Structure 1
């Protein structure tokens, strides 16, 4: 084993780092825990032909995985073919079989691979250049590269039947394409996720969760809490100090500064799901909690300080999504006569009013901050799309009807300027479903209309942003990403 790859070089989420190849000018790797960024420096003639020279920051893994980062070079650089990206190698020898998702200094973006030790490297060029977002996924012996300029959807390339063995080295790399030159790069929002196995039983088995905060202007992400349990649907409290989320039927108040969760007292109501919402004044919490004898999910309200909740809807399924700015009305998705529509109900209890009647699923209803409109999602056209209507249910119209994706859960920023929502891929999800553990985008668009921008590329789905998730200053989004347990292995080997 090369001593440069010992466990003493463990860094952040990675097991080790070092130079690959012979007589390579020494590179380095640094992790900044405050920014959660990695900085690599490296040299080497190239990553090409029958052997490689570069600096590698790696984690030893088995099974399937998804790795993600936003990468950029530091400085103008010397050679236009310097390289940053993700790599998977069979071993740490310079001639190892491998696959990498790479962006070159001149913008060339490609999926490169060497099928066997010492073989010639092959390449599939992406249809875009100058990618910033780099994702590489392994599913068996199939490797999928997803790349994008930040804000745009992924462009995908794939290589199948590439056998690197079950146990591999996965990591970030940097090569200068010049053996006498050291180049540098920065890797932000680095994520390693273990996806759900095909055997996972939805709604019975779950992956672990991370609570992330997303800066809307920059797209910068920060993980503030990770759990092996399923955490779902964070609401931001009005004072900006806490997040409210559900897990295993309970509601939690997460102190952002202390990074600690505490169970919120909801009395005897302990089968809570991910459809919960705070009142605009921040004093009350609306819950959706399953009661089998009443037909499923029932809506309740409780003071944010905790207590015994008050039952609002007499029967289920009833899934709460919105509270009117004046505090007087709740809007929810109800199944009545086997049809899911949007209903309103007085916040103190009373008769339901049906607001939608189109065939199909209407869901995710939420008031605009001025109380004039209700935004929701509907698959009445055959594709799940964003809609809005006046608060009385009149003038129902599509907000975004391009139909590229299945769009769910429009959340309006507190300043009333923006809509954030989650988009599922049509090839993965049906129009009436929003399952766990899929490739999803969080997208942003002005309330006045326009082209949506991708602000987060996430492995998640159900529970990611089911509920209003804006910070009170309209600058950040809280959301959930998911991963199975990352393997813990001894570093080493060849």
Structure 2
């Protein structure tokens, strides 16, 4: 069980005007074509397409024509950038209008060059719902395809990993269906981008692409908690799934809280806490006094009068201890847990501000503990042989939600506030569920789900993960976010006061 402590300078580039404090710089990350470099009509179609980028919604509207994308030659409208090495391309896609030809196509395409006969790999969604991974091995050779069992998806991901291509598709809210392609040897440096093809030279078709991400994953040999890649701070409307990137960092930022009547985000990096203001896009550092080795387990009380932090205590061999402080930084943090008892990672403060709950290593294992803030007495709340973690009070204080692998896989649980009557809420073997966060209105749980391949009790960095949403009393979870992230993405309570929006961190090198 380990939480991250970040080292190295934080370098953040922000959208719009920014703070000039320390390493923060005024850098625009979006140009005329958003995250892309250029647009072009591949194959010189008779009708020239076009691209429009909406910087506010971060959506791309593409119009394109072209006789086809097949055989030995292609025609289509292309919005692209160059990239090297491994990558993950992801977007929500939507045709506009009924269309003319059932084989009109939209999706992601990777190409060696900008000629119509270039070798390529193409995640293709057809107007009639056909979904296929198409590819041309050599210049001017015939196009081949692998047909997916998925039909008419609206989320498309194309990943290159060690020379193998993976097309993953889904109807938004559902798990991915994946098709794998080996032995197509495109160049290390390629063009990647979105496209529209009408499959009719006399017709123009239109599509909208949202939640568009181009991700450079961590190197396969990266060393967790020593090697870090960059980060993106994002917000999402959980009702629609629409996401917006707020700012990026060249280093790791983690664990945003949404505070001050939804006017600010608080996050951590490099052992410090920072405050981001929505109105001005400014970032400032929170004064935590001597506590300069904070990990990503920091929480606010429900009334935001108390800020709790988990700081690596140099008086206790660098182990994580829990402190409480004034959120404005006007007084020094006060240590709550005792030295010499084991590591402690804060997760929640009771609605009446009388108790904290946290994950603690005691008796050679990790359980959920509490501390009575009046008496300072530590109380053991759970006692299992495996791992209990991620505890959080419901807004009415009646329940504690948490994640546990006590039944063999990491799932979500709920118990009474005294630790009695535990009830398992999730039980899908395709997911390992962590960090349940309850909406302020008490109706919803949002949480991160890791792939089933991760180790027992782990919540690592840099994975293809999902954010899922379910009713607070239990029910069938729905995917609201497909992302590359993991540790630090959503470790702390991340809801806005309106119970409609969340904040979280994704990663890209």
1:257 is matched with: 279
How many Å separate the matches in 1 of 2:253 and 2:373?
27
**CA shift in 2, pair 1:24/1:199, >3 Å:** farther
Residue 230 of structure 2, aligned match among 200, 208, 212: 208
1:305 to 320, 328, 336: 328
1:21-36 mapped onto 2 (5 Å cutoff): 21-36=43-58
1:225/1:22 CA distance change after superposition, 3 Å: closer
Q: Is the 8 A contact 1:294 1:314 kept in 2?
A: no
Is the CA contact (8 Å cut-off) linking 2:45 and 2:201 kept in structure 1? no
| Equivalence map 1:155-234=2 (5 Å) | 155-234=177-256
Q: How does 1:320-399 map to 2 (within 5 A)?
A: 320-347=346-373, 350-399=376-425
Q: CA deviation digits over 1:47-74, x for unaligned, max 9? A: 1111111011110111111111101011
Partner residue of 1:318 out of 344, 348, 361? 344
Query: 1:406 — aligned with what?
Result: 432
Residue 139 of structure 1 deviates from its aligned partner by: 1.2
Q: Distance in 2 between matches of 1:365 and 1:329?
A: 13
| CA apart distance, 1:23 | 4.4
Question: Does residue 497 of structure 2 align to residue 475 of structure 1?
Answer: no
Match of 1:3 in 2: none
1:444 equivalent to 2:469? Answer: yes
The 5 A counterparts of 1:402-441 are: 402-427=428-453, 429-441=454-466
CA distance in 2 between counterparts of 1:136 and 1:258 reads: 35
Alignment of structure 1 residues 51-90 onto 2, 5 Å:
51-90=73-112
Tell me by how many angstroms 1:242 deviates: 0.6
Gaps in structure 1 of 5+ consecutive residues: 1-8, 485-494
Residues 126, 348 of structure 1: alpha-carbon distance in 2 compared, 3 angstrom cutoff: farther
Q: Please state how far the C-alpha of 1:238 moved relative to its aligned partner.
A: 4.2
For residue 147 of structure 1, the aligned residue among 169, 173, 176 is 169
How many Å separate the matches in 2 of 1:19 and 1:106?
Answer: 24
Conserved in 2, the CA contact under 8 Å of 1:60 and 1:169?
yes
Per-residue deviation at 1:24? 3.6
Structure 2: tracts of 5 or more residues without a match: 1-30
Q: How many Å separate the matches in 2 of 1:158 and 1:334?
A: 42
Other-structure match for 2:478: 453
TM-score in terms of structure 2 length: 0.92
* Aligned pairs for 1:257-276 within 5 A: 257-276=279-298
- Counterpart selection for 1:106 from 119, 128, 137: 128
- 3-state SS of paired residue (1:389): strand
Deviation string 1:185-215 (CA, Å, 9 cap, x unpaired) is: 1111111110000121111111111110000
SS where residue 100 of structure 2 aligns? coil
Q: Which residue of 1 aligns with 2:139?
A: 117
CA contact 1:406–1:431 (8 Å) conserved in 2 = no
8 Å contact 1:356–1:362 — kept in the other structure?
Answer: yes
Measured in 2, the distance between the counterparts of 1:58 and 1:244 equals 34
- In structure 2, the CA distance between the partners of 1:97 and 1:279, relative to structure 1 (3 Å rule), is same
Equivalent residues of 1:238, 1:472 under 8 A apart = no
Shift of 1:124: 1.1
Question: Once the 2 structures are TM-superposed, how far is the Cα of residue 349 of structure 1 from its aligned partner?
Answer: 6.3
8 Å CA contact 1:312, 1:348 repeated in 2: no
Shift of 1:340: 0.2
The residue that corresponds to 1:128 in the other structure is 150
Q: Is the CA contact 1:301–1:310 (under 8 Å) kept in the aligned structure 2?
A: yes
After TM superposition, give the deviation of residue 337 of structure 1 in Å. 2.3
CA separation in 1, counterparts of 2:61 and 2:238? 23
Please state how far the C-alpha of 1:328 moved relative to its aligned partner. Answer: 0.7
- C-alpha RMSD of the superposition: 1.2
TM-score by length of 1: 0.94
The separation in 2 between residues aligned to 1:42 and 1:23, in whole angstroms, is: 9
1:225 CA displacement: 1.3
